[in-house]
A = this chain, B = another copy of it.
Amino acid sequence: MATTPQQQATGQQQQWHELAQQLRVDSIRSTTAAGSGHPTSSMSAADLMAVLLADYLRYDFSHPQNPYNDHLIFSKGHASPLLYSVFKAAGAISDQELMTLRKFGSRLEGHPVPVLPWVDVATGSLGQGLPISVGIGLAGKYLDKLPYHIWVLLGDSEMSEGSCYEALELGAHYKLNNIIAILDMNRLGQRGETMLGWNADAYAARARAFGWHPIEIDGHNLDQISAAYQEALRQTDQPTLIVARTIKGKGFSEIENKDGWHGKALPSDMAQRAIAELGGERNIVVNVHKPQSAEPLKHDATAPLQLPRYDQGSSVATRSAYGDGLKALGASRPDVVAVDGEVSNSTYAETFAKAFPDRYFEQYIAEQQLIGSAVGLGVRGYQPFASTFAAFFTRAYDFIRMAAISRANIKLTGSHAGVSIGEDGPSQMALEDLSMMRAVFGSLVLYPCDGNQTADLLRQMADHRGISYMRTTREKTPVIYGPGEQFPVGGSKVLRQSNADKVTVVAAGITLHEALKAYDQLQSQSIAIRVIDAYSVKPIDARTLLQAAAATNGQIVVVEDHWEHGGLGDAVLEAFSGTEEQPVPQPLPKVTKLAVHSMPGSGKPEELMNAAGIDAAHIVATVKRLVG
Interface residues of A (CB under 8 A from B): 34-37, 77, 102-106, 108-111, 113, 115, 122-127, 157-158, 160-166, 169, 173, 189-191, 194-195, 202, 205-206, 208-211, 342-346, 350, 364-369, 391-392, 394-395, 397-398, 401-402, 404-405, 422-428, 431-432, 435-436, 438-442, 538, 554, 563-567, 569-571, 573-574, 576-580, 584, 588-594, 597, 599, 601-604, 607-608, 611, 613, 618, 621-622, 625
Q: A191 and B343 in contact (CB under 8 A), knowing A423-B34, A577-B592?
A: yes
CA of A34 to CA of B603 in the docked complex: distance in angstroms?
10
Are the C-beta atoms of B566 and A573 separated by less than 8 Å? no
Q: What is the minimal beta-carbon distance from A420 to any residue of chain B, in angstroms?
A: 13
Q: What is the minimal beta-carbon distance from A382 to any residue of chain B, in angstroms?
A: 23
Report B-chain residues with C-beta under 8 Å of the C-beta of A346: 190-191
Instruction: Choose one: B162, B165, B565, B594; the contact of A579 (CB below 8 Å).
Output: B594
Q: What is the minimal beta-carbon distance from A128 to any residue of chain B, in angstroms?
A: 9
Are the C-beta atoms of B613 and A432 separated by less than 8 Å? no
Q: What is the minimal beta-carbon distance from A588 to any residue of chain B, in angstroms?
A: 4
CA of A590 to CA of B571 in the docked complex: distance in angstroms?
16
- A596 — nearest CB in chain B belongs to which residue? B441
Are the C-beta atoms of A342 and B37 separated by less than 8 Å? no
CA of A578 to CA of B613 in the docked complex: distance in angstroms?
14
Are the C-beta atoms of B578 and A592 separated by less than 8 Å? yes
> 22 A-B pairs, CB-CB below 8 angstroms?
A37-B423, A102-B602, A104-B607, A104-B608, A110-B423, A111-B424, A113-B426, A115-B601, A124-B426, A160-B366, A161-B166, A162-B162, A191-B342, A391-B398, A394-B398, A394-B401, A435-B439, A565-B574, A570-B570, A577-B592, A578-B592, A588-B590
CA of A567 to CA of B607 in the docked complex: distance in angstroms?
32
Q: What is the minimal beta-carbon distance from A462 to any residue of chain B, in angstroms?
A: 23
Instruction: Choose one: B195, B344, B395, B566; the contact of A435 (CB below 8 Å).
Output: B566
Q: What is the minimal beta-carbon distance from A232 to any residue of chain B, in angstroms?
A: 20
Max chain B C-beta neighbours (<10 A), residue from A162, A165, A391: A162
Instruction: Choose one: B108, B342, B601, B613; the contact of A190 (CB below 8 Å).
Output: B342
Q: A570 and B563 in contact (CB under 8 A), knowing A158-B365, A173-B195, A428-B111?
A: no
CA of A591 to CA of B103 in the docked complex: distance in angstroms?
34
Are the C-beta atoms of B594 and A580 separated by less than 8 Å? yes
Max chain B C-beta neighbours (<10 A), residue from A209, A564, A571, A608: A209
Are the C-beta atoms of A570 and B574 separated by less than 8 Å? yes
Are the C-beta atoms of B191 and A350 separated by less than 8 Å? yes
Are the C-beta atoms of B593 and A578 separated by less than 8 Å? yes
Q: What is the minimal beta-carbon distance from A374 to any residue of chain B, in angstroms?
A: 16
- A36 — nearest CB in chain B belongs to which residue? B423
CA of A538 to CA of B563 in the docked complex: distance in angstroms?
14
Are the C-beta atoms of A392 and B397 separated by less than 8 Å? no
Are the C-beta atoms of B601 and A439 separated by less than 8 Å? no
CA of A432 to CA of B436 in the docked complex: distance in angstroms?
8
CA of A599 to CA of B406 in the docked complex: distance in angstroms?
11
CA of A19 to CA of B426 in the docked complex: distance in angstroms?
30
Are the C-beta atoms of B124 and A427 separated by less than 8 Å? yes
CA of A123 to CA of B435 in the docked complex: distance in angstroms?
23
- A166 — nearest CB in chain B belongs to which residue? B162
Since A161-B162, A161-B166, A579-B593 are in contact, a sample of 20 more A-B pairs with Cβ atoms closer than 8 Å, ordered by chain A residue number, is A77-B427, A102-B602, A102-B603, A106-B601, A110-B602, A113-B425, A115-B601, A125-B391, A126-B365, A160-B166, A189-B342, A206-B210, A395-B398, A405-B427, A565-B574, A578-B591, A579-B597, A580-B613, A580-B621, A580-B622
Are the C-beta atoms of A105 and B210 separated by less than 8 Å? no
User: Sorted from nearest, which 10 A-B pairs have the closest CB atoms?
Assistant: A162-B162, A124-B427, A104-B603, A588-B588, A435-B439, A432-B439, A110-B425, A165-B165, A584-B590, A395-B398
- A368 — nearest CB in chain B belongs to which residue? B162
- A363 — nearest CB in chain B belongs to which residue? B160
Report B-chain residues with C-beta under 8 Å of the C-beta of A405: 426-427, 599
Instruction: Choose one: B160, B431, B608; the contact of A365 (CB below 8 Å).
Output: B160
Are the C-beta atoms of B163 and A104 separated by less than 8 Å? no
- A599 — nearest CB in chain B belongs to which residue? B441
- A619 — nearest CB in chain B belongs to which residue? B580
Report B-chain residues with C-beta under 8 Å of the C-beta of A397: 394-395, 397-398, 436
Are the C-beta atoms of B423 and A402 separated by less than 8 Å? no
Report B-chain residues with C-beta under 8 Å of the C-beta of A588: 554, 588-590
- A611 — nearest CB in chain B belongs to which residue? B104
CA of A163 to CA of B427 in the docked complex: distance in angstroms?
17
Report B-chain residues with C-beta under 8 Å of the C-beta of A369: 162
Q: What is the minimal beta-carbon distance from A538 to any residue of chain B, in angstroms?
A: 7
Are the C-beta atoms of B364 and A160 separated by less than 8 Å? yes
